[in-house]
Chains A and B, each alone.
Chain A
Amino acid sequence: MVNHSLYTVQAVVVLDSDGARLLAKYYSRRPSAQGHKSLKEQKKFESELFSKTRKSSSEVILLDGQTVLFKYINDVYFYLVGASDENELLLSSVLNGLVEAISALLKHNVDKRNLLDNLDMVVLALDETIDDGIALETDPNAIASNVSKRGVDTLDVSLANLNEQTLLDAYKQAKERFNLALLR
């Protein structure tokens, strides 16, 4: 049965170099998708996946009747799971979009540590790429730009960057804090 719907991605998994899960998101909105229901099944699937792909430079594998595209940078493994009859190149472009966006957001320095330090950006990038199994965007630049950079805490700003602020900014901030104080 050819997939006529927009739902193409069944799961995204990110593993570290020991095969432990960093991130995993299984999408089950598509009615016919074979869901990895329980956590145990998911873990089993992942460990099998990892053992089969660890030492291989290839980008694609068939596992459990699903097409899995994968990619690794340093010690982080990205996997994208789709149906077995899905267009591999379409899946590949989605995965590429995600990985390159993350890579850009992490300043091209992707490793486990950096990934964990910047979790907020990573989860947002994932969210901007895939919405519940539908590929939302494949252009890495667009994904990266949709992910907002980490803001700075208002308090820090007022103390550290006071001298760099314009008068108007300072006024705004003062007003805000005044309001808050009132609210309290």
Chain B
Amino acid sequence: EARVFNQTPIRPRQSRLLLAKILFLLYRGDSMATAEATNLFFSITKLFQCKDMSLRQMVYLTIRELSTISEDVIMVTSSLMKDMQPKSEITYRANAIRALCKIVDPSMLSGIERFLKAAIVEKSPSIASAALVSAAHLFQDAKDVVRRWGNEANEALNGKALSQGASFFGGASGAGQVVSTSNIVQYHAMGLLYAIRQHDRMAVLKLVNTFTGQSKSSGWMGGGGGGATLRSNMAHVLLIRYAVEVMEGDPSRASQLHELLKEWVRHRSDMVSLEAARAMCQLPGLNSKQLTPAVNALQVFLSSPRPTVRFAAIRTLNMLARTHPEAVQPCNVDMEGLITDSNRSVATFAITTLLKTGNEASVDRLMKQMQGFMAEISDEFKTIVAEAVRSLCRKFPAKHGVFLAFLSGVLRDEGGLEFKWAVIEAIIDLAKHVPECKEAALAHLCEFIEDCEFTKLSVRVLHFLGEEGPQTARPTMYIRHIYNRVVLENAVVRAAAVSALAKFGAATAADPSLQQSVRVLLRRCLDDREDEVRDRAAWALRMTGDTAMRGKYVRDDSTFALAVLERKLVEYCANPAAAAAGQFSFDGIPRISRAQEEEMRDRVRVEAMDAVLTGSAVSAPSKQAAAAAGADAAAAAAPGTPTTAGTAGGFADAFERQAQYAEKLNAIPELAAFGAQPLVSSCAAADLTEAETEYVVRCIKHIYAGHVVFQFDVTNTIPEQIMEQVEVAMEPEDDSAAELQPVVVVPIPELRCNEPGSAYVAFERADAAEFPTATFGCTLKFVVKEIDPATGEPMEGDDGFEDEYSLEAADLGAGDYMLATYIPDSHALWEALGADSEAVEVFALAAFDGIEACITSVAALLGMCPLDGALRPKSKAAHQAVFTGKWMGAAKTVARTRMTFQKGSGVTMELAVRSEDPSVSQLVVAAVA
């Protein structure tokens, strides 16, 4: 068809339609071969002979689209240049500029630079816009050239406003060409200017100040119309972002920024107002009162007729509610109205926000409202609601009656697996955490499995009944329900039911008659058609008959760290050599307690839900980022805070982290020689600098069989500098470190701003049986080079100068040799180890003014895993705690402390340690001394 182009005379109308068809094919997703595109391209160039404007515009567009797939597009440069000349028509020029910039080679750019510069300051907005946008595109490839256009862009930014202002005063002077009312040139100029100057903080600040100063004065003049320089709303949005960027983190400007945002929130354009409100909500360190203007503006948006406005407002509020629930409370009434919003995203956000801000009184009303519209919404949305109710249950356990009624109500409704699953989980959660409603919840679950079409759900419920049922007052009722399943259901459910029965059988040992009847039921299952069911029944019968086995299977409350187990298994499967060498070994897999795992799973779930709601972490990479952030948060919480969730999660994450460290360490040949993986890695990084200094250094210690490695994570926070040859010099502060001989120092070759790097220092332990403790004075040594703010590269010819920066001392304590692991059944271990290996000492610690402070610091010194409640003293006067760990990753160690507190004399603590290696017990006790 492309032959049409070759016809003479050229027929513009037909050609144009044909071009449109080609574009249509491209846009539809049909791809074109390079040769084909090149051919097409050359036939299109013939169309330049035609002067018809409508055709020409289409030609430009096609050229631009083809430029990515065709070759030799450079050929048309001269034709385009001709169209850029000032005498051609406006539409011509704008399009020619854009097409030219798309195809031009960075090296040829200087040739057309003059035209582009002239175009940027052109009066006609469409030409100026085209030139500015093209410049922004080019900026990625040809930074140097475009950087020279800063002045022109600035002129466009300010000058354009003036000329527009003039036309404003002079009435409608823009006859002929329709003048854009959006003043979008400013937006483009602003964006380009920022791109040019983004490395230069002062310049951006100046840019921001130019506009903030003037808009303020115009506000005072009360004119508003002609005086305000910034007339494009979109440019204003950009301005807000830039203002926040340059002023944030600078305490001297914090109040100024807040004032500005307050003013911008009142802007008459919704777009600007929203951006300002959002910026305000994201500012750290504001209290609820300071947030009021933003919240007020958003509240008005909530009742807007436009869904987009409502959506934007509720999303911002949702974000805010996470950090400042009390600030959002004034909007509760408006948000309740939005629960039934036609836009489901809006409704979802409304519900989840309300859950965060709601108080106990509003819960009843909320539930009633939700019940009303549950039937009308899709499954997916119902699932979200169920999840939301689940978190609400945790928040207000006193309202369990209402929740349970609601959940059981929706359970009876129609729904898919996902939704039912969420509801079941919510009920189980409720039963676990609110003991008062356990019986009622179990009854609902029993009723549910009577008529359940999902095998998976039946299994889940049966498992839970097996766990909780035996502890209730009337286990017989549950046994009846469970046995019904054995009679009626398919094989998978039958197997699960048998397992549940087994648990009843094991746990009801105190009541022989009941146990007997369970055994009768189990015996009947021996005739089942399925192997699995028969196997389970046989196993259960044996187990219930034998007391020792019963204890082992039923009371075991530990489980493997599943993530680690999975990774090890994958490694095992991927490596045929290992498979040939022998069976998979469970020794290397840390065990964690059920409770810890539960906590971890909860945390992951909450995070995932948050992520779904913010819509930010759906793709895989960002999910990883979220997980990493979670790990960081847990790490921050781990060292001493008494929140169990934080510590439990922290320990589980520690395994993950350790694997990461090992990977990093093994990448360095000198260190890899020490062993495959450090035996112990300290779980929390110790800060060696203040938080707000030029260089941030954190220290992590790794213990190998014969070596100690210090890892220093260094972050350079000065954008103007680049650090090279960064290393840490460590000087022992006393002689005690004589047993430690420095062996390797690994520097960081180059460190840019905000790109953390790791330097290492390794010591060799002279005597493997000695575990020296020491304190090292640390100094950061490096070569500093200035950075050219324009390019982001180091200045040429700058050899840099050497500099030092002294850090706080790094300690190597006995606790660092201890691997914090959960050891199941620590009591039995304690007994088994016996008094021979025990080391006991009594300390009088006058310095502490409370048990809690004392236990936290002891935990930090020991470096061991606190067992349930160890860090949460129940009384103020006395406390007992148990810790477990493995010395050098091998020798199991249990520590028990008892402490009492008296006002005046401080804390008195008795520490008893037993270990598989008696010398270790002494060392551990010494660690606290």
Contact = CB atoms under 8 A, between A and B. Distances in A.
Interface of A: 2-6, 21-25, 29, 31, 34, 39, 42-43, 56-62, 64-67, 69, 84-85, 87-90, 92-93, 97, 119-120, 123-124, 127, 131-132, 134-139, 141-142, 144-156, 176-177, 180, 183-184
B616 A6 contact: no
B180 A139 contact: yes
Given A6-B187, A69-B308, A90 B24 contact: no
B275 A87 contact: yes
Of residues A34, A66, A146, which shows the largest number of chain B Cβ atoms within 10 Å of its Cβ? A146
Contact of B13 (A21, A85, A150): A150
A138 B245 contact: no
Interface string B840-879: 0000000000000000000000000000000000000000
A149 B55 CA distance: 9
A108 B61 CA distance: 24
A149 B54 contact: yes
Contacts of B129: 136-137
Interface string B327-357: 0000000000000011111100000000000
Contact of B184 (A22, A92, A135): A135
B383 interface: no
Contact of B177 (A58, A120, A145): A145
A134 B130 CA distance: 11
A142 B126 contact: yes
Contacts of A138: 182, 184, 234
B13 A64 contact: no
B343 A139 contact: no
Contacts of B187: 6, 135
Given A2-B244, A58-B346, A148-B53, 17 more contacts: A2-B241, A5-B194, A22-B28, A24-B28, A29-B137, A58-B307, A59-B311, A60-B345, A61-B345, A65-B615, A65-B616, A119-B21, A120-B17, A138-B182, A148-B54, A154-B12, A184-B8
Given A60-B311, A135-B184, A152 B13 contact: yes
Given A24-B27, A64-B619, A151-B53, A137 B309 contact: no
Nearest to B52: A151
B53 to A, nearest CB: 5
B308 A42 contact: no
B28 A65 contact: no
28 contacts: A2-B245, A4-B198, A4-B241, A25-B27, A29-B140, A34-B619, A57-B307, A57-B343, A58-B307, A59-B306, A59-B307, A61-B345, A64-B618, A64-B619, A65-B615, A90-B237, A92-B306, A123-B23, A123-B24, A132-B137, A136-B129, A138-B182, A139-B181, A142-B126, A148-B54, A154-B9, A154-B52, A180-B8
B90 to A, nearest CB: 9
B666 interface: no
B8 A151 contact: no
B98 interface: yes
A90 B569 CA distance: 50
Nearest to B64: A127
A38 to B, nearest CB: 10
Contacts of A177: 9
B294 to A, nearest CB: 14
B271 A89 contact: yes
A64 B312 CA distance: 17
Given A58-B345, A65-B616, A184-B8, A39 B184 contact: no
Interface string B182-204: 10100110011011001000000
A52 B178 CA distance: 38
A123 B27 contact: yes
Contacts of B617: 65
B274 interface: yes
Nearest to A95: B308
Contacts, number: 215
B308 A92 contact: yes
A158 to B, nearest CB: 10
A151 B16 contact: yes
B182 A137 contact: yes
A139 B28 contact: no
Nearest to B125: A142
Contacts of A180: 8-9
Contacts of B242: 4
A32 B270 CA distance: 27
Q: Majority SS of interface residues in chain A? A: mixed
A84 B136 contact: no
The 8 lowest CB-CB distance pairs between A and B, nearest first, are: A58-B343, A6-B191, A120-B20, A142-B180, A151-B54, A62-B615, A145-B178, A89-B271
Contacts of A60: 307-308, 311-312, 343, 345
A65 B29 contact: no
Of residues A58, A154, A177, A183, which shows the largest number of chain B Cβ atoms within 10 Å of its Cβ? A58
B392 interface: no
A142 B13 contact: no
B179 interface: yes
A177 to B, nearest CB: 7
Contact of A85 (B17, B311, B616): B616
B234 A90 contact: yes
B311 A88 contact: yes
A23 B134 CA distance: 24
A182 B245 CA distance: 64
A65 B619 contact: yes
Interface string B24-39: 1001110100000000
B912 interface: no
B57 interface: yes
A183 B61 CA distance: 28
A56 B344 contact: yes
A88 B308 contact: yes
A92 B136 CA distance: 22
B133 interface: yes
A147 to B, nearest CB: 8
Contact of A59 (B140, B188, B308): B308
Interface string B593-619: 000000000000000000000111111
A59 B91 CA distance: 32
Given A64-B619, A85-B616, A156-B13, A4 B194 contact: yes
Of residues B12, B27, B622, which shows the largest number of chain A Cβ atoms within 10 Å of its Cβ? B27
Contacts of B52: 151, 154
Given A4-B245, A5-B191, A145-B178, A151 B12 contact: yes
Contacts of B94: 146
B308 A62 contact: no
B205 to A, nearest CB: 14
Nearest to B278: A87
Nearest to A122: B20
B255 interface: no
Contact of A142 (B8, B54, B64, B178): B178
A139 B184 contact: yes
Contacts of B13: 150-153, 156
B126 to A, nearest CB: 6
A63 B902 CA distance: 59
Given A60-B345, A132-B137, A39 B182 contact: no
Given A6-B136, A142-B181, A148 B309 contact: no
B133 A136 contact: yes
Nearest to B615: A62
Given A123-B20, A136-B129, A137-B184, A150 B54 contact: yes
Contacts of A148: 53-54, 57, 91
B634 interface: no
B58 interface: yes
Nearest to A96: B308
A183 B8 contact: yes
Nearest to A84: B615
B726 interface: no
B91 A23 contact: no
Contacts of A90: 233-234, 237, 271, 275
A135 B21 CA distance: 24
Contacts of A176: 9
